Amino acid sequence: MKYVDEFRDRDKAATLRREIAALVQEIRPARPIQVMEVCGGHTHAIFRYGIQDMLPEEVEFVHGPGCPVCVLPMGRIDDCIAIARRPEVILATFGDAMRVPGSHGSLLQAKADGADIRMVYSPSDALALARTHPDRSVVFFGLGFETTMPSTALTVLEAERDAIGNFSVFCNHITIVPTIRAILDSPDLRIDGFLGPGHVSMVIGTEPYDFVARQYRKPLVVSGFEPLDVLQSLWMVLRQIADGRAEVENQYARVVTTGGNAAAQRAIAAVYELREFFEWRGLGSIDLSGVRFRDAYADFDAERRYAVPALRVADPLSCQCGEVLTGLLRPHECRMFGTSCTPATPVGALMVSSEGACAAQYRYAVRAA
């Protein structure tokens, strides 16, 4: 039991492991039970703590699309680079986005070629750059789910209040709920239940997931990030399956409430509206899955300010991220895994960040082998 050594409470981990095995005996599945962890943070934890290896072989984690860096499509990276290459522009971005491949290289390569691209920790740092460089045009590369959506919105509200004219945002914020629905609608669906994201849920609450249980009859348990949280949440999903129940449950109640964070939701509602559709790397176009600025904030919208090329660029043909994301393939079963696609030279989305399933598997499974 080498893995259990790192759990904070070994006895509890061992008990949960036994109870999960007992539940699987009770369910007697005809095929392996697939549980999707939606959030990339959970994916990272599952690999880091070897949680899959603790489970009976009848239970499989499917690593979902919850890494906003990973699912950025190449066309959006190309657009971002086109903006960054303008001589008057300083592009400010989270470090995570620097290595995401576009069709002609990454932001890192554009920076090496002379584009003024700066890594920031926060959108408020990007706004500070605009204040200190009034002669330049500062564009913040806004990305992430509802965990980072409020921070971009609040920064835009601050820019408006202080009339900062040389600040705008290239908005790539996305929302996970329509994507869960798209996965549930996929004809090959084999997923039996979900671990819901922790920090997205901290903002949006648990109510937006109710349709998963009511309409699709699948259990969803919002989970924390500690290894014991993940095990306990999995147990809760399996308990529901064994009981024939489908409910939204909250294992992470110490952080997540039913209604979410009201101030963050107000900022989101004030600044953004849903896009008709948004492109996801590996999953294609998903209706209502992205946000853009409302007309009232058009001045802060880099897409309107710079008329980006907005070309749709297909994922590489050899890429099988879509199959991995929907649970049809495991990461190492992709034909490019670990050969032409590695964390140092990612081709597919899931190899880009430590929260992507392929990068996590490469880091913890391949290199340990």
Partner 1 sequence: MCLGIPARIVRIDDAERMLATAEVGGVRRQVNIICIVDDAHPVESCVGDWVLLHVGFAMNRIDEAEAAATLRVLSELGEMQAELDAMGGEGEIRR
Binding mask 266-295 for partner 1 (x = CB under 8 A): -x----------------------------
Tell me the window of 151-159, 182-190, 293-301, 337-345 that interacts with partner 1 (CB under 8 A): 151-159
Binding mask 204-233 for partner 1 (x = CB under 8 A): ---------------------xxx------
Do residues 279 and 76 lie in contact, with contact meaning Cβ atoms separated by under 8 Å?
A: yes
Does 69 help bind partner 1 (rule: CB under 8 A)?
Answer: yes
Tell me the window of 61-69, 234-242, 272-280, 339-347 that interacts with partner 1 (CB under 8 A): 61-69
For partner 1, the binding residue among 13, 55, 65, 68 (CB under 8 A) is 68
What residues from 116 to 135 belong to the interface with partner 1 (CB under 8 A)? Answer: 118-125, 128-129
Number of shown-chain residues binding partner 1 (CB under 8 A): 48
Does 40 help bind partner 1 (rule: CB under 8 A)?
Answer: yes
The residue among 350, 356, 305, 346 whose CA lies nearest residue 86 is: 305
Give the count of alpha carbons within 13 A of 342, CB side only.
Answer: 8
- In 10 A of CB 23, how many CB atoms? 21
At residue 9, what is the residue type?
Answer: D
Task: Output 148 or 175, the one with its CB closest to partner 1.
Answer: 148
171: left (phi over 0), alpha (psi -120 to 50) or beta: beta
Do residues 106 and 77 lie in contact, with contact meaning Cβ atoms separated by under 8 Å?
A: yes
For partner 1, the binding residue among 1, 112, 253, 263 (CB under 8 A) is 263
Quote the least distance from Cβ 343 to partner 1, whole Å.
13
Does 203 help bind partner 1 (rule: CB under 8 A)?
Answer: yes
Does 48 help bind partner 1 (rule: CB under 8 A)?
Answer: yes
For partner 1, the binding residue among 261, 289, 326, 361 (CB under 8 A) is 261
The rounded distance, in Å, linking the Cα atoms of 123 and 130 is: 11
The rounded distance, in Å, linking the Cα atoms of 256 and 200 is: 9
Does 73 help bind partner 1 (rule: CB under 8 A)?
Answer: no
Across 35-61, b (16+ Cβ under 10 Å) vs e yields bbbbbbbbbbbbbebbbbebbbeebbb
For partner 1, the binding residue among 8, 30, 31, 339 (CB under 8 A) is 8
Do residues 338 and 367 lie in contact, with contact meaning Cβ atoms separated by under 8 Å?
A: no
Does 251 help bind partner 1 (rule: CB under 8 A)?
Answer: no
The rounded distance, in Å, linking the Cα atoms of 43 and 330 is: 13
Does 96 help bind partner 1 (rule: CB under 8 A)?
Answer: yes
What's 189's DSSP letter? -
Q: Are strands 137-144 and 167-173 parallel, antiparallel or unpaired?
A: parallel
- Interface positions with partner 1 (CB under 8 A): 6, 8, 39-41, 44-45, 48-49, 67-69, 94-96, 118-125, 128-129, 144-145, 147-148, 150-151, 154, 158, 199, 202-203, 225-227, 254-255, 261-264, 267, 354-355
